[in-house]
Amino acid sequence: MANALRGSDQEKVIPCRLHLSGFEKADSNFYSLTIVGDGSLYFTLSTHNIDTHGRVYRYDPSRDALTPVCDLGEATGERGAKTLPQGKSHSPFYELDGWLYFSTHYGYFATNDEREEPAPIPDGYKPYPGGHLMRLHMASGRVEDLAKAPPEEGILTLNMDARRGRLYGLTWPKGLFLVYDIATGGLRNLGPVSRGGEVGRGDQYFCLVRSFAIDPRDGRVYFTNADGQVHVYDPDADRVAPLDGVTLRRDILGQWDPHKPGHQGYNWRDILWHEESQCFYGVHPKSGWLFRFDPPARKLDLIERIAADDLRRSGQFEPFRYGYLTLQLGPDRETLYYLTSTYGPDGSGDSLRVQQATHLVTYNLRTGRYDDHGALRLDDGRQVRMSQCHAVHPGGRCYACPWIELPHGNADQRPRWQCDLISFADPLVATRQGR
């Protein structure tokens, strides 16, 4: 399978192990993979099937044990209700005082002219009830339903201010900004913050951001709109406003019309806090440019392009139209890990069967060293097409829930895909250990 890759990437393949869930209707994972304090991983396998809800799983690396945690339909009391299902969780898990906090979303939508929007409700089904804020008690496995978004609004984006005990969410498709107080159980809806969101028309359309940046020093919440403007929620003023003079709109990132669907525009895709530098680091979708964001200084600077090496050399954009939710900080606290994709044939000889080849890229914030470590492949040779989640374990392995080619015996058969947990050896472990 290594010969399926082109050029200098022919010898650079990372073998991966598959951890099967048995959930045959799992077809995606968006941002929902988190390492918690005891070293285990929690993740949600999502589905776009109208009669199926997503499922939460736990994987314990010390015992190599993968166990189901809950069905989102059962946890919300909506299984069998013939409402549009809680097919997804679209956020990481956030740990606080023995609980994991997360949210639910739905995946039953229609795509029209590259615009994703709610699909017509089939006969016999009820509208989507709204996404839920949930929490899971890790010791007992008990799941609690905390609050619900407005009807027909899923919770697309979620982050936690653990110091102040707050959750912040953004709904889809209208882009409503939610504030939840953990101590009081109160949920407030501050209304739309991205014009008409993804159901807007004309200049009211904005593709919604998928990640919030929360400054732990003052609890301010930062996000972008598709025109690149950075906005901030100030908890003291209790309002959302533009951050004057700070934008991600740069010509080098490409030319994007923020009011046209099919891309993230000048939104950031993924962003994380770096305690050591007291700054945020994030990545722009499609271009794969890494940036540094310093809120008090009101500075947002591009650093390096961390797309796959052949895209850097050719000047091409990343394949997936929305980019990748896979930026992670390594155990050394100075290396960023990023799962991105490039173009590559699948080895069948059929030019029509060209898929996204997933690569692991690392970038050291101290030295500026960039490395493309190669393409992920299962140990049986099957492709890893794309991932929208990533976790770097201090035990020396990396984890993801990508799209994986299903086995088939007919060479002329087009591949079908599943979504499940995989793991692979961290290529930098030996380096960190001085070998």
CATH code, domain with 198: 2.120.10
Count structural domains, the chain. 1
pLDDT of residue 285: 97
- Domain assignment of residue 217, yes or no: yes
Q: Which domain holds residue 176?
A: 39-209+212-267
pTM: 0.94
Distances (CA, A) of 361 to 140, 143, 203, 328, 338: 37, 36, 36, 11, 5
Q: Which residues of the chain have pLDDT under 50?
A: 1-9, 347-354, 435
For the beta carbon of residue 339, count every other beta carbon within 10 angstroms. Answer: 23
420 occurs within a structural domain? no
Q: Looking at residue 356, what is its pLDDT?
A: 80
Q: Is residue 253 part of a domain?
A: yes
pLDDT of residue 216: 98
> Is 326 a member of any domain?
no
The predicted pLDDT at position 350 comes to 44
- Whether residue 109 is contained in a domain is answered as yes
Q: Is residue 387 part of a domain?
A: no
Give tens-digit pLDDT for 100-140: 999 999 999 999 888 999 999 999 999 999 999 999 999 99
Residue 69 is predicted with a pLDDT of 98
Residue 113 has a pLDDT of: 85
For position 1, what pLDDT does the model report? 30
Q: Is residue 362 part of a domain?
A: no
Q: Answer yes or no: is 168 within a domain.
A: yes
CA distance 305 to 302: 8
